[in-house]
A and B are shown apart, each in its own frame.
Chain A
Amino acid sequence: MTERTGPENDAATPRPGMDDAATPRPGMDEAATPRPGTDDAATPRPGTDDAVTGPPRTETGQGEAEAGQAGAGDAAGRERPLIELRDVKVHFPIKSGLLFDRTVGYVYAVDGVSLSINAGETYGLVGESGCGKSTLGRGLLRLIEPTDGEIVFDGTDVRALKGESMRTARRRMQMIFQDPLSSLDPRQSVESLLVEGLKAHGLADDREATNRRLRETLEAVGLSASALSKYPHEFSGGQRQRIGIARALVLDPDLIVADEPVSALDVSIQAQVLNLLEDLQNERGLTYLIIAHDLAVVRHIADTVGVMYLGGLVEEASSDDLYREPMHPYTRALMSAVPVPDPLVEDRRERILLAGDLPSPTNPPPGCRFHTRCPWAQPTRCVDERPALRDVVGGHRVACHFAEDIAAGRVRPHEVEPELVRPDDGGAPGDTGELIPTL
């Protein structure tokens, strides 16, 4: 696994400030950690580098405290996966019938995904609409119940948890949604939005401590304390997304699943929010699963990137490896399609244009899901056998029978006739919305 910034990414990062009396967390003792200099203006800090925002690092004591808190206590804390998915499936039944619901088929939204995310790491999940990336993110938090598979979070099987124990576990796994306007209740003040989670987890008993905690969280996301009494409509899009982040952050989670955190924002605001997410990770040692359709964004923020196509992971590698040498034909096409704001690059580059649209996830193609649009598809094997995600070179996992041959130029691309795709078969390939509408 590639570590982006070395030691500050692993468990040795201290978490400033967040720990007050109300937090029932064993083994945390960094109340004395000085807060980094954040100003409380609603405007974010302009382009400061990590050295300024990161708190002073103490390599020894804090690290042990963190490792102890995670309950693992292993020496190889750096490589310890915080969350592991094994063959996770999310299938949605398609119902039909007037009186009695009959299941007439399934939408195979997520169809067997295995991945693991190390503590302190950022995993980026990319893919186009309808590939199942959002469903996977929700399935991971059990906001949508997975059909099959195992989700292991910090040693516990999340799918086996019930009722109260699941609620408790959720404190450590929070989510940031795409559209801050629709994910924040317009009739709730920011204070009430933030306190709600604390109350649900019984962390809001001490009024003063709670108040301090809210202010600190707002400050951490670059909003002033005066925001507490305001309502979501009083903020701009970027600020609303900051509130969404604060809501996730106030519970002091270990894992944050961010579903398209910046796609609703203008580019200049996007950069602010991306920088904020990075700062928070450096300060608090957060683990991120970032779900996005924008490859440039994911490349920028993620350590490891997984590419999804039609419910399955087709390629996974460290961010640098993936962008240096994409090995799956779909990843290649996807990357060649992303416009680069530089005419010199745009005039020179070669585009791999995919024929047609994403097939319907109700009736996925046999064999390799991508063979209907793949310019490198080879007779029979690609149609007959579904390729498994396998390690091709040094941790670079690819689900393609011919990955090595394509990389070496032994298999040449050919023309592909676009196939008809009918959205009314179920699902909505190439549609503007996600397969499952975002709440």
Chain B
Amino acid sequence: MSLLDVRDLSVVFQRRGERPFTAVDQVSFTVEPGQTVGLVGESGCGKSVTSLAIMGLLPKRGNRVTGEVLFEGTDLLGLRPDDLRDRRGRDIGMIFQDPLSSLNPVIPIGVQVAEVLERHRGMARRKALREARELLDAVGIPDPDRRLTEFPHQISGGMRQRALIAIALACKPRLLIADEPTTALDVTIQAQILTLLKQLVDETGTALIMITHDLGVVAGLCDTVNVLYGGRVVERAARHELFARPRHPYTHGLLSSVPRLDSPRGERLHAIRGSVADNIPWVEGCAFAPRCDNVVDACLDGPPPLEPTASGGDLRCNNPVSEEVAVP
């Protein structure tokens, strides 16, 4: 049994007087214990909404979540709010993008870490603070004793993100969801945080869902990568396979439009034409069709199915990029 099995997860946002908007559209993927799974895509592709839906953190009103999120066989979507709260933080930890807005500005760091231990492991405050000190030390925060009593604004962005990781890992969750954990950070700090995450995942055997727009981050970290476009998974492959032989024109386009540090200079970037605004609804065909170089008539007849590929991944495309075509 997979640790997490997301089946046909859909999230539809509906506001009165407006057309419903499908942010996540029948997304399915699994996470095995100890595995690192990447969800990659650009803004608006539904990657963050997917993570919020898994955690049950979407607002109560204005949206409809359908499908199943099986965590060790239990459907999280069907749990009562109290039961879900028990699992959040204990079984599943989450790290958000912006550490400043996800930490409480008027509560000392130490208390914020200890809080989780008190809630889920029933520790007394004193004991929880001692444990919190160990956690801050484990995530590489210098002088943890002093940090316990400090407030979020007193420490730097990188340190805040470390504190957030300490909170997420406090109860040794079996699954950690990291939503753009390094996007707000500078590259040298990003390297520190990614190294830390990799090390923690290796040491504790925690499974990790890494949500990011940065293909470089995925390349160094994830075992399996799901590429999302317009709310659907368009390609899924093992890390090496995806980067060496991207089959979906969108994945291929993304990889060839990023300027790379190690590529020869002076070449034009191969931009994907248009923008997400050109997307067509999935019911009418492939959402990416208006921007796609490989578009064929069948793309506008209806949504292409997600089909298994020979290399063990999945692909949603009528006319995939040939396996021989390398990324420029």
A residues adjacent to B (C-beta < 8 A)? 4-5, 43-44, 46-50, 128-129, 236-239, 266-272, 274-275, 278, 293-297, 299-301, 319-320, 323, 333-347, 351, 353-354, 356-358, 417-424, 428-432
Contact = CB atoms under 8 A, between A and B. Distances in A.
4 shortest interchain CB distances as A-B pairs: A339-B216, A346-B220, A337-B191, A271-B271
B243 A270 contact: no
A268 B272 contact: yes
Interface residues of B, number: 60
Contacts of B277: 236
11 contacts: A47-B269, A49-B268, A128-B186, A268-B271, A337-B191, A341-B258, A357-B156, A357-B158, A420-B142, A423-B154, A431-B157
Contact of B253 (A48, A268, A293): A268
Given A43-B278, A353-B192, 11 more contacts: A128-B188, A128-B189, A301-B259, A333-B188, A338-B261, A340-B219, A344-B244, A356-B142, A417-B142, A418-B140, A420-B143
A128 B293 CA distance: 36
Contacts of A295: 187, 261
B31 to A, nearest CB: 19
**Residue of A343, A420, A424, A431 most packed against chain B (CB within 10 A):** A343
Interface of B: 42-43, 98, 100, 140, 142-143, 153-159, 184-192, 194-195, 213-220, 239-240, 243-244, 253-255, 257-262, 265-266, 268-278, 293
B98 A351 contact: no
A45 to B, nearest CB: 8
Contact of A353 (B195, B240, B268): B195
A347 B187 contact: no
B258 A296 contact: yes
B156 A271 contact: no
Nearest to A337: B191
Contact of B220 (A333, A335, A343): A343
B259 A423 contact: no
Nearest to B98: A432
A424 B257 contact: no
B157 A430 contact: yes
Contact of B187 (A239, A269, A334): A334
A47 B259 contact: no
A293 B186 CA distance: 8
A295 B186 CA distance: 11
Nearest to B221: A346
B273 A46 contact: yes
- Residue of A295, A333, A431 most packed against chain B (CB within 10 A): A431
A340 B159 contact: no
A351 B186 contact: no
B240 A343 contact: yes
Contacts of B186: 128-129, 293, 358, 430
B156 A128 contact: no
A339 B259 CA distance: 11
Contacts of A319: 265
Nearest to A421: B156
A128 B185 CA distance: 9
A297 B259 contact: yes
A328 B243 CA distance: 31
A296 B272 contact: no
B258 A267 contact: yes
Which of B42, B142, B185, B278 counts the most chain A CB atoms within 10 A? B142
A268 B42 CA distance: 8
A295 B262 CA distance: 11
Contacts of A43: 273-274, 278
A243 to B, nearest CB: 14
Nearest to A319: B265
A325 to B, nearest CB: 14
B260 A320 contact: no
Contact of A357 (B159, B194, B213): B159
Given A46-B273, A50-B268, A337-B188, A424 B216 contact: no
B275 A424 contact: no
B97 to A, nearest CB: 10
A235 to B, nearest CB: 9
Contacts of A339: 190-191, 194, 214, 216-217, 219-220
B240 A275 contact: no
